[in-house]
Amino acid sequence: MDLLSPLEWLFGLLTLTGLVLILIGHKPLSQGLRWLHSRFAPHIQNADSKPFVFLPSYPMLGLLLTLLTAWLFCGLVIPPLLQYTAWPPQRIEAINLIIQSLGFQAIGVTVIAGTLRTSGIAWRSLLDPRPVGANFGRALVAYLVIIPPIFLISAANEALLSGWGYPLSFQEVVEIFRRMDHPGLKSLLVFAIIGMAPLFEEILFRGLLFPWLAGRFGWAGGILISSAFFALIHFHLPSALPLAALGIALCLLYALSGRLILCVFVHMLFNSINLFAVTLWGG
């Protein structure tokens, strides 16, 4: 019997690679953290400073209320309507999940775009991927640097929950994905997980909510509060602490680089590798 599963070998290798990168680049990282502290401590002084987008309170609260309404509609109205169809239960479960994920994400991106346009903010000022190749390379390095603490926090979290007797499981979206047998629906869910979810969540939580909160509670408060919300909206206790840590890391990446596209690419890598690993090897 193997001591480690292929999944554990994969994340162990990623963790080791990340630790090497941290050791090689410890000086740039420490310099970046000092710059972050000097720029934002004890609170953001200039709410108009670039590259961050600062929505006024009224549009921001209106955006959050609209997104909450859309989420309630997708989660509470659509499922009962699907029960009136002649589809088998497994097909209904899959379509319901796609509507609640991909449908809501598409609505969310559309609402955010409208809010930015109404507020006179150019979309490209928030999310400019150019140059794509260089930014993806930076994101890959950032992902490898982020993985070691996330891996250790996740392992400690699992050990703690297991000690308390709490059952460990994948998130619902992964469980349903593994049960899906329709290739078209499965492809849509893959697109939602590795494409739309990172785009929507990074624009909302790091691009808009983090600067808005930081302007009111200081950069540390903005990072912690936005990361807590990011973890909570996944509604999965075993993943809450690792996702909060990921949120903190992505906030720091955005603050240090000023490039939201790096957070989107890192999030895409995180979701893609996790989905690939649990699909190929399971638990």
Which DSSP string do the residues of the chain spell out, in sequence order?
--SS-HHHHHHHHHHHHHHHHHHHTHHHHHHHHHHHHHHHSSS-S-TT-SS-----HHHHHHHHHHHHHHHHIIIIIHHHHHTTS-S-HHHHHHHHHHIIIIIHHHHHHHHHHHHHHHTT--HHHH----SHHHHHHHHHHHHHHHHHHHHHHHHHHHHHHHHTTPPP---HHHHHHHH---HHHHHHHHHIIIIIHHHHHIIIIIIIIHHHHHHHHHHHHHHHHHHHHHHHTT--HHHHHHHHHHHHHHHHHHHHH--HHHHHHHHHHHHHHHHHHHHHH--
pLDDT of res. 22: 56
**Token pair for 118:** 């109404």
* The most confident of 129-133, 151-155, 167-171, by mean pLDDT: 151-155
State the pLDDT at residue 46. 40
In the predicted structure, residue 51 carries a pLDDT above the cut 60 = no
Q: Is residue 20 in a domain?
A: no
CA dihedral 78, 83, 88, 90 (to 10 degrees): 40
pLDDT at position 270 is 93
In a domain, 6, yes or no: no
**What local confidence, expressed as pLDDT, does residue 167 receive?**
82
Domains in the chain, number: 1
Q: Is the predicted pLDDT of residue 27 greater than 50, yes or no?
A: yes
Select the highest-mean-pLDDT range: 15-29, 160-174, 196-210: 196-210
Q: Assign residue 46 a region: left if phi > 0, alpha if psi is -120 to 50, beta otherwise?
A: beta
Average the pLDDT over 181-198 and give the result.
88
Which of 59-63, 98-102, 111-115, 126-130 bottoms out in mean pLDDT, i.e. has the lowest? 126-130
Buried b (16+ CB within 10 A) or exposed e, 26-56: eeeeeebeeeeeeebeeebeeeeeeebbbbe
Query: How would residue 201 be classed by pLDDT, with cut points 50, 70 and 90?
Result: very high
pLDDT band at 10 (very low <50, low <70, confident <90, very high): low
* Domain assignment of residue 119, given as a range: 56-281
Q: Domain for residue 61, yes or no?
A: yes
Q: Is the pLDDT of residue 48 over 50?
A: no
What's the pLDDT tens digit per position in 202-229? Answer: 999 999 999 999 888 888 899 999 999 9
Is residue 40 one of the residues assigned to a domain? no
Say whether pLDDT at 138 is over 70: yes
pLDDT of the residue at 33 = 55
- When pLDDT is averaged across residues 230-256 and rounded to a whole number, the result is 90
| 2 within domain boundaries | no
pTM summary value: 0.83
Query: Using an 8 Å Cβ cutoff, are 141 and 268 in contact?
Result: no
Q: What is the pLDDT of residue 2?
A: 47
Answer yes or no: is 36 within a domain.
no
> Does 43 map to a domain?
no
In this structure, is residue 22 part of a structural domain?
Answer: no
